[in-house]
Amino acid sequence: MILGTRGLDMAVPRIPLAFFGISLGLAGLAGTWLTAAHEGHVPIDVGRALVALAAAVWCVTLVLYLRYAASVRGAFAADMLDSVGSPFGSLAVITPMLLAAQGIAPYAPGAGRIVVDVFIVLTLLVGGWYTGQWIYGPLELDQLHPGYFLPATGGGLVAAFSAVQVGQERVAEVMFGLGIISWVVLGSMILARLFFRPPMPLGLTPTLAIEVVPASMASVACFALNHDRIDRLSAVLAGYCLLMILAQARLLPLFLRLKFTPGFWAFTFSWTTVATTGLHWTSTGHPPGELVLSYLLLAAATALVGAIAVRTLVAIARHRFLPPAAPPPHSP
């Protein structure tokens, strides 16, 4: 049989599910700028532009991945069952939920609520599927990495924040509980793997940055639920967030030895949520030097994401960003 479409004869670029983390990182930076704008520190237009950029990157990533999945037989099933990369597939539904809360709900509340609700349902379904798959399928402790936080823990906490933005606080409380309990359960297993088992492969080392996400994203969601008030829960979350930040400082020599890969985007959402949490604390707690601290947090988050974005563009220009092309579908 001879293929009638020339495109199927050509190798198709492989698009890993982790590439959806690029748009999530940009959405995280947008959230940091929007938080600073809400406090009156910066113009809101920068945050809006970052939301639009993140949405465009998500759309491009989705189109490229769907093209790859449609062209390579069994690619989607293999990705969803892969013990290393599959958790990142949840970002395909988590990211647009956050973008809708940031970019649609403030200007079209009805449409924003619909879009957020649709993706909250999808996030819940996807998180349930991943949890069931991990129970059903064979999974070794050494295969765990911090990316396993994303489907249920990350999805639940981002959904909690997003639901507040569209005025659905009861839904937000439900999703907050989902995220927090998933964090407690998964966190103990992931830390046990990191403490007592051999080091992760270098390609997965950037995912260690995700260890700060549960506490920082829970803090952001908590501030949304509390309408920017500091209470006991936000203080408890801040304590664990500080611990994870200090742990990351100890890992800095390990991170500095890494060569740039697309996995560096794991650093972006991780640290932009830390910066956003810090902005909430400075604007609510009013510490000495509040304005200086706010600008330092914003500048650090922007510099980090900007540097990784520049390295990404350079790698794309040098044809070193995409993994090796997938083989064309076999035809007997």
Report the percent of the chain where pLDDT is more than 70.
95
Confidence at residue 326, expressed as pLDDT on a 0 to 100 scale:
53
Please, what is the Cα angle at 213 between 216 and 166, to 5 degrees?
65
The answer, yes or no, to whether residue 328 has pLDDT greater than 60, is no
Total residue length of the chain: 332
Read off the pLDDT of residues 10-26 as tens digits, 9 standing for 90 and up: 578 899 999 999 999 99
Q: How confident is the model at residue 67 (pLDDT cuts 50, 70, 90)?
A: very high
- The more confident residue out of 2 and 31 is 31
Confidence at residue 137, expressed as pLDDT on a 0 to 100 scale:
83
Encoded tokens for 285: 């707690």
The answer, yes or no, to whether residue 270 has pLDDT greater than 60, is yes
Q: How confident is the model at residue 325 (pLDDT cuts 50, 70, 90)?
A: low
- Per DSSP, the residues of 84-109 read TTGGGGGHHHHHHHHHHHHHTTTT-H
The answer, yes or no, to whether residue 306 has pLDDT greater than 50, is yes
pTM above 0.85, yes or no: yes
Confidence at residue 59, expressed as pLDDT on a 0 to 100 scale:
98
SS3 content of the chain, % helix, strand, coil (to 5): 80, 0, 20
Read off the pLDDT of residues 137-161 as tens digits, 9 standing for 90 and up: 888 999 999 999 999 999 999 999 9
Read off the pLDDT of residues 102-133 as tens digits, 9 standing for 90 and up: 999 999 999 999 999 999 999 999 999 999 99
- Per DSSP, the residues of 110-169 read HHHHHHHHHHHHHHHHHHHHHHHHHHHS---GGG--GGGGIIIIIHHHHHHHHHHHTT-H
Q: How confident is the model at residue 5 (pLDDT cuts 50, 70, 90)?
A: very low
Q: How far is residue 216's CA from residue 157's CA, in Å, rounded to a whole number?
A: 10
Confidence at residue 1, expressed as pLDDT on a 0 to 100 scale:
31
Encoded tokens for 241: 């967030």
